[in-house]
Amino acid sequence: MAEVPNAFNQPGAAFVLLLDGIKFPPIEKAWQEKGHSYQEATAHNGNLGILAGDGFIGLDQDDPSAFEGLELPLTTTWQTRPGRFGLWFKASDDIPAGLAGIKKKANQAQLKLFKNGKPCGEVKLQRTYQVIPPSWKKLEDGTRVDYLLLRDVPPAEIPLAKLLADLRALGITFTSKLESNAERLEDMGKKAHQRRAESDESRARRYAEAALEDEVKILGSTPTGNRNEQLNRSAFALGQFVAAGVLSEAEVISALSRAAMYAGLDPEEIRATITSGLDAGAKHPREIPESSRVTSRGAAEECGIPEQPTDGGNALRLIRLHKNNIKHCHTFKKWMIWDGHRWKVDNNGSAYRFCDDVIQEIYSEASDSTDSKDRQELAKFAIRSDSGRGYRDMLFLASFNKAIAITSDLLDTNPWLLNTQNLTIDLKTFEAREPQREDLITKTVGTEYDITAKCPIWMKFLEKTFNGDQELINYIQRAIGYSLTGSMVEQVYFFCHGTGANGKSVFLATLRALLGDYAKQASFDTFLVQHTAKVRNDLAALAGARVITASEAEEGSRLSMQVIKGWTGGDPITARFLFGEDFTFKPEGKIWLAANTKPIISERNYAAWRRVHLIPFSVTIPLEEQDRELEAKLIEELPGILIWALRGLREYHRIGLQPPEAVKAATDAYRRENDSLAAFVAECCEVQKLAICKNSDLFNTYLEFCRMGGEEAVSQKKFSEDLISVKGVKKTRDRSLGMIWHGIQLSKKWSGPENTNRYQAQDVKDVKPNPQSFRNSPHEANFSEMPSHPSQPSLDIDSEKTDPSRSGENPGPSMSKRDMSTPGRSEDPGFQRFKAGMSKRRCCLCGRSFPYDLTPYFNKGQSGFICATCHMEGPPSEPEKVDSQTKLEAGA
């Protein structure tokens, strides 16, 4: 940016810092008290303003022709746009005294100048500023215009009183903005009075038609239970106009009948109620006032004619007075108030206070009326309206007017606008502008937008928390920048994991404070599997949030991927608050979870795991280094953290999230921990083309594998569905053996947890042999002879003699032996305890021992437990009995 002209380098001069290309507002909130020096202004990379006050005054000539003939000394002059100029002076007299000469207050900030009723410029006096070179701005057509210095001379001294007198001599008048508005309103009143000058006949007819229209609308909005009574009142009121001859009975009956039927009244009662009301009203003909205060609602809105003295008229008054600052959201049944920066839910009765202005206006109309009868009627109506019921009816009817009625789907619709406490930022162009009512934004972040702000404590916190991993810190910056938006294009959620005392809580607390209204704290249960159906008001509460945080899941809790995938996918969600109506919204909130333990994710598919970004918080902060005031210190740096996050968003626009290796590795490890089947196949199985294994043996071994590892096992159905997705593995069904798996077998190398790192810390029960065994049947013999698996192992224990007395049956075939002299096996105390436990799991039919729980068995007086094979195929066949005579002959 070009240098600040030296003409402005004057003792006592103070400057205002503005955003580049922006005229208003200043960057700093209390800019009137924080004037900057010439050196600070020169160092600023943006637009500048020169403060009026402390002896300096300014003159803006928006229409130079109005100032022709004005003699001024040579002074600092610049062009604000083609044909408009700014001049800077030093006042040689007292400013309050000069203002007193034209009957203005001593603290007047500026004077607006008018000639022939048209604005032509301003005199800047105090607590305001002029934008000066080398600033620039954009015109309405988008053209860039630079502020150009025309006279590079010091400001000339001039008495303010003389300047004002010379301006007045040219026919220029002074007025404040408030006085200007008063004159404009007075002019509008005169025009409205002219429009009300109409013939008596047309005025009376218009009066009656407006009354008919209003009664029909009131009837349509009356709550159930009061409609028949309201129909009678409306018929009575309109019967007065029928008696006066300005409405026909037919048109009244027709209009009221349609409205009553639409409201749901009984058709048989409608005609009787209307007739009764009309007859009663006809006895009291209505006198049409000389000065009509009644017209249709549409006409009242268009031309400003005074509204009729009804609840509907009060609603129109309210809308006319405050429609720019009040809305009613029918989705949430809430009033919303414009607070200067956003539309805020009215929690303190502001809407009712707006009604005060309506009542006061009616009292004023009554006092200003020249007709005594009219004045008396208005006064009575004002008293009736000035009540709780009057206020409620006024608001109820106003809430349906299209000027203020909205629904939730119209709020916060632009995901790329971010509202701060002083400006609204376009997150695509990064341009800042004043908040606008038309944006219908309901939220602000927790800080102002200050482009000069820094955040050194935050940067040190990140450096320490992530152990100086700059790639990870840069990723965090992009992730938070992305979280400022309402976009869900990434379809991910962030999971901050660490064992404790590692900054997760402070990190998320700062993130929530930064996002302000855009952040919501949720219960972790919101994203967990729900075992009971309930109203999801927890999801309804998250509508419109851009950041959602939740902390600390219970040990063993399970994430609901149905909720996670639906939310991160950005698909419309229908929810409702308790006792409320359903509403549909598109989620915008980026989920940030934090926990010391990792919740279980049951799904193994890519659709589930591509959404997970696990951020490792691996540094534990020693107790002596922990700062209890850190969170409060970071809150003080929120303006700087916002600027840091916006830089991260710029980088996100350039390269995307780009998770670093630390996040990828942590997420991959998390996925492996949650995939018990993949771990089982990797550690306990061999996937070979010619391999074969019975489903019962494979699944039972899988169950024991999960039990030993403390993992959650999937069901038999899920086990089969996931296993068949392994490349090269398929299943068939054998008539006698049941389900058979092809392409996979239990590994001979897996002989228990003592040979793996996975279960080294487990109990001795975790020692697990390979329970792949077939009984001695023709089918099983064929399997054992297949070249695809010539050495299918039997139970990995010493052969044991079965005890016929325990089962009551002949023992099955003896177990094959394995050489137990291998060093580290037979002497291992854990393995010995495992063998002892084996004897407690013996099948009462075949006599074999197993390392997993068996099935209870009761039959023919025999009870105990049976293995999966006997459960499926029944007990082994008894050996044929040998004839003793045949045995003797053979021996002979």
DSSP per residue over 399-428, as a string? Answer: TTSTTTEE-GGGSS--TTEEE-SS-EEETT
Return d(Cα 382, Cα 313) in angstroms, integer.
Answer: 12
Q: Which amino acid is at 420?
A: T
C-alpha dihedral sign at 630, 631, 632, 633: positive
Q: What is the pLDDT of residue 151?
A: 94
User: Is the predicted pLDDT of residue 816 greater than 50, yes or no?
Assistant: no
DSSP designation for 544 = T
- Residue 199 confidence (pLDDT): 46
3-state secondary structure of 40: helix
Least Cα distance to 407 among 585, 562, 162, 649 occurs for: 585
Most confident range (mean pLDDT) of 133-142, 257-266, 275-284, 423-432 is: 423-432
Task: Pick the range with the lowest mean pLDDT from 85-94, 97-106, 293-302, 516-525.
Answer: 293-302
Token pair of 768 as six digits: 């697990």
% of the chain beyond a pLDDT of 90: 35
Q: Are 52 and 86 in contact (CB under 8 A)?
A: no
- From CA 145, how far away is CA 81, in angstroms rounded? 6
Indicate the pLDDT class of residue 644, thresholds 50, 70 and 90: very high
> Residue 867: which of 884, 883, 886, 847 has the closest Cα?
847
Residue 189 has pLDDT above 50, yes or no: no
Q: How deeply is 177 buried, as exposed, middle or buried, from its count of CB atoms within 10 A (0-12, 13-18, 19+)?
A: exposed
Of residues 188 and 430, more confidently modeled: 430
Mean pLDDT of 608-624: 91
Residue whose C-alpha is closest to residue 399's, from 436, 346, 342: 346
Domains 6-186 and 675-873 share a fold: no
Length of the chain as a residue count: 892
Highest mean pLDDT among 134-138, 225-229, 267-271, 755-759: 134-138
DSSP 8-state code for residue 528: B
- Say yes or no to pLDDT of 250 above 50: yes
Contacts 24+ apart (CB under 8 A), 887-890: none
- From CA 425, how far away is CA 412, in angstroms rounded? 13
Q: Is the dihedral of CA 211, 214, 220, 221 positive or negative?
A: negative
Overall average pLDDT of the 204-212 stretch = 78
Q: Which residues contact 19 (CB under 8 A, 6 or more apart)?
A: 27, 46, 47, 432, 451
Position 862 scores a pLDDT of 67
Top CATH class, 675-873:
mainly alpha
| Sheet strands side by side (includes 432-433) | 417-419, 424-426, 432-433
List the single range of 367-381, 396-410, 440-454, 686-700 with lowest mean pLDDT. 367-381
Strand 334-338 relative to strand 343-345, pairing? antiparallel
Q: Which residue has the higher pLDDT, 353 or 188?
A: 353
Instruction: Indicate the domain borders of the chain.
Output: 6-186, 200-406, 456-672, 675-873
- Residue 517: which pLDDT band, with cuts at 50, 70 and 90? very high
Q: Kindly list the distances between the CA atom of residue 433 and the CA atoms of 18, 25, 481, 630, in Å, as whole numbers in the listed order.
A: 11, 8, 19, 32
Instruction: With CA atoms as reference, report the closest residue to 21 among 100, 129, 136.
Output: 136
Q: For residue 692, list its beta bridge partners.
A: 742
Cis check: omega of the bond before 134, within 30 degrees of 0? yes
* CA-based max dimension of the chain: 156
Distance of alpha carbon 283 from alpha carbon 289, whole angstroms: 19
| Rounded Cα gap, residues 702 and 695, in angstroms | 10
Q: Residue range 561-571: average pLDDT?
A: 86
Q: What is the distance between the alpha carbons of residues 224 and 212, in angstroms, rounded to a whole number?
A: 21
723: closest CA among 671, 675, 658, 654?
675
- Torsion angle in degrees (nearest 10) through CA of 116, 119, 125, 130: -150
- Give the separation between CA 566 and CA 348, rounded to whole angstroms: 36
Q: Which fold has domain 456-672?
A: Rossmann fold (3.40.50)
CATH class in words for 6-186 = alpha beta
Coil, helix or strand at residue 724: coil
What is the rounded average pLDDT of the residues 78-98? 92
Residue 141: its pLDDT value, please?
74
* Per-residue pLDDT at 214: 80
Amino acid 603: pLDDT = 78
Residues 6+ apart with CB under 8 A from 838: 797, 849, 850, 851
3-state secondary structure of 335: strand
**Taken in order 719, 724, 729, 731, is the CA torsion positive or negative?**
positive
Average confidence (pLDDT) over 34-47: 90
- DSSP alpha helix (H) spans, 246-330: 249-262, 267-282, 297-303, 311-322
Q: Which tokens go with 571? A: 């698909």
Q: Please tell me which residue, 317 or 891, carries the higher pLDDT value.
A: 317
Does residue 232 have a pLDDT over 70?
Answer: yes
Q: How far apart are alpha carbons 233 and 260 in whole angstroms?
A: 13
pLDDT at position 208? 80
Name the residue among 784, 792, 786 with its Cα closest to residue 748. Answer: 792
Split at pLDDT 50, 70, 90, the class of 750 is low
pLDDT at 64 over 90: yes
Res 301 pLDDT > 60: no
Q: How far apart are CA 469 and CA 466, in angstroms?
A: 6
Q: Residue 771 has what pLDDT?
A: 39
In this structure, what are the phi and psi dihedrals at residue 158, rounded to the nearest 5 degrees? -155, 135
Strand boundaries in 723-804, DSSP class E: 730-734, 738-746
- Average pLDDT of the residues in 73-78: 96
Q: Is the pLDDT of residue 159 over 90?
A: yes
Residue 602: which pLDDT band, with cuts at 50, 70 and 90? Answer: confident
What is d(CA 436, CA 433) in angstroms, rounded to the nearest whole number?
Answer: 9
Name residues whose C-beta falls within 8 Å of residue 511's C-beta, 6 or more positions apart in sequence: 480, 483, 519, 547, 549, 592
Give the pLDDT band (50/70/90) at residue 812.
very low
β-sheet bridge partners, residue 574: 584
- 439 burial level (CB within 10 Å; 0-12, 13-18, 19+): middle
b/e map 287-309, b = 16+ CB within 10 Å: ebbeebbbbbbeebbeeebbbbb
In the predicted structure, residue 770 carries a pLDDT above the cut 80 = no
Q: What is the pLDDT of residue 331?
A: 84
* Exposed / middle / buried, residue 451 (Cβ in 10 Å: 0-12, 13-18, 19+): middle
Angle at 394 between CA 393 and CA 395, to 5 degrees: 95
Q: How confident is the model at residue 860 (pLDDT cuts 50, 70, 90)?
A: low
* Predicted local confidence at residue 752, as pLDDT: 43
Tokens in use for 725? 């997705």
Looking at residue 342, what is its pLDDT? 92
Which pLDDT score, from 0 to 100, does residue 815 have? 40
pTM of the model: 0.51
Q: What is the average pLDDT across 636-651?
A: 96
User: Bridge-partner residues for 575, per DSSP?
Assistant: 583
C-alpha dist (Å) from residue 41 to 16, 51, 58: 8, 12, 18
* 855 contact partners, CB below 8 Å, separation of at least 6: 865, 866, 867, 868, 871
Q: What number of other Cβ atoms are within 10 A of residue 757's Cβ? A: 7
Average pLDDT on 272-280 reads 85
Query: Average of pLDDT values for 834-861?
Result: 66
**Which DSSP string do the residues of 574-607 spell out, in sequence order?**
EE--TTS--EEE---PEEEEEESSPPB----SHH
> Which one has a higher pLDDT value, 328 or 194?
328
- pLDDT the model gives residue 753: 42
Q: Could you tell me the pLDDT band of residue 535, with boundaries at 50, 70 and 90?
A: low
